[in-house]
Structures are given as structure tokens and as C-alpha cells.
Amino acid sequence: MTDDTATTSPIILPLINLTTDPEVLIFNIDDAKKLRNEYNILGVLTGTLQQYPQQNTFLSVPLRLVIWEVLWLLKNKKAILVDQKAYRTARLTGEVSNTNYSGNLITTANTEPSADLELAMKYQVPVKEYVRRYLANSTFTVDTFIRYARYYSHLQNHGYFINPGLKFGGDLVIYPGDPLRYHSYSIVKFEFVDMHQIVVGGRLATSVKKNLVIMGERNLSTQKHDEVDDEVIDEIFEDSVPLTFSIEWAGFG
């Protein structure tokens, strides 16, 4: 069997502002296509297109990746996380020859030379620092964050296409194939056992022709993590099989 990591160059994931807003935004169109076609990573398009006034239907790059997608890519060595400001400064100040000058104009291509990968690797951001900065700007506890990352990874490893599930009252929505061709059939909710929420969630899911999937840990660890260290990263990247239940109202909707 061929090792994909040995034959495929990793995707450069630009981390825009590690200090205050650790978002990963993909501007490279080829990378966005590769994420979707090869790794089932959808992200969320957030850019505007002037020729399309209905921006809720047609959106463009940048493609924003949620942290679960980033961690899955890093775990499986499909990508490297790069300090975008330092990397772009290095390119502009001459570490790589700039071929984007055309007369008095500076053009920016939709793709970048593969030779830039060597330069980008000099500015990799450690995953521990990325997670630490993200948690500093979120409401997650470290232990909840570890569990949620595992749940996402479990679904992604099964080949689903995954989107945020907020508009359906869940954490995620999963698709059996590309959402351009398939409807989603499950709303995924992490860790709730309140019977009122289960009833409401099950009825809502069934009314939109989906089932409700609840995910939880099989064995909750009694160890609590107060800060992000190497052990936390190991736990995030550890494969696990969560408890999974599906709920659907028969004859309803």
C-alpha cells in the first residue's frame, strides 16, 4: 500500500493571527479543491463575489476551517500550520523570488509554487500553541475540547462530509457524500442526556427528514487538565470509538 503522506505534499494552512484570533483561512483555490475532493473537508466560504448580489448563495474564498478540521488534517499529516504573517513577510522580503510583478502592477495568483513549502515549514506553528491560543479565546474547558475533537475525528475517519449544525440545533450535520450532490441525513449532538432536549431534538430532526445522533465518551477520564501540554495533544490525536445513539420518531413529520 502506498503511503499518501510520502507522495502528497501537505497543504499549507495559513494561521492569520495567532495572538488574538487564531483562524485558518485558505485563499489558495487549489488547496480548497484538494481539501474537498480528497479529504472531505468542506470549511465555510466567507468571501464575496461582486457579480453575485445574493451572497448567501454564492460565496468565494477565503475558506475558513473550523478547529476540528485543522486538527484532523494535522493529525493525519495532510497539512502544516503556518504563521501566515511571518511566512508572507519572508516571501516579500526576498527569501523567495517574487514573480508577481507585471509592469507597474502586482498580481496575486490563485495558487502558489510548491517550492514555497520549504519556506513555509520554517514558520510552522506548534499544535500545542495553536490549541492553547484557541482555548484562551473560547468557552471550552480543556477536557471538553479533547472529547469534541475526538468525536469529530471519529466521524471524519468514517468518510462523512461534515458541516456545522447550528441551524438544525445540533453541533454538526453529516452527509454521505459531497453536499452538492447529497442531502444530510443526521444531526449530530455532543453529550446531552436531558430528556426534554432529546425529545425536542428527535422531533426537530425527524421533521426535517433526518435522525438525531448523540455522541459521548465510553469511559470518562477522572483526570482533569488545567492547561494544554503534550499529554493533552496526545489525547486529542488518540483514536477512540465513542458511544453513539441515533433517535428517529417513527410516523412523525
Instruction: Give the span between the Cα atoms of 124 and 14, in whole angstroms.
Output: 10
Instruction: Give the span between the Cα atoms of 178 and 77, in whole angstroms.
Output: 22
Of the listed 130, 152, 175, 189, which one is catalytic?
A: 175
CA atoms within 13 A on the CB side of 77: 7
Q: Which of 38, 64, 244, 26 is nearest to 154 (CA)?
A: 244
Burial class (CB in 10 A: 0-12, 13-18, 19+), 62: buried
Total residues belonging to the chain: 253
Of the listed 77, 122, 183, 209, which one is catalytic?
A: 183
Kindly provide the residue ranges of all beta strands, DSSP E only, lying in the chain, ordered along the sequence. Answer: 11-17, 21-26, 44-47, 60-65, 79-83, 101-102, 105-106, 161-164, 172-175, 186-190, 211-216, 243-247
Asked if residue 33 lies in contact with residue 180, where contact means CB atoms within 8 angstroms, the answer is no
Of the listed 75, 78, 189, 210, which one is catalytic?
A: 210
Per the annotation, the verdict on 183 as an active-site residue is yes
Lookup: cell for 177: 457524500
Instruction: Give the span between the Cα atoms of 111 and 41, in whole angstroms.
Output: 19
Per the annotation, the verdict on 175 as an active-site residue is yes
Per the annotation, the verdict on 154 as an active-site residue is no
Active site residues: 175, 183, 210
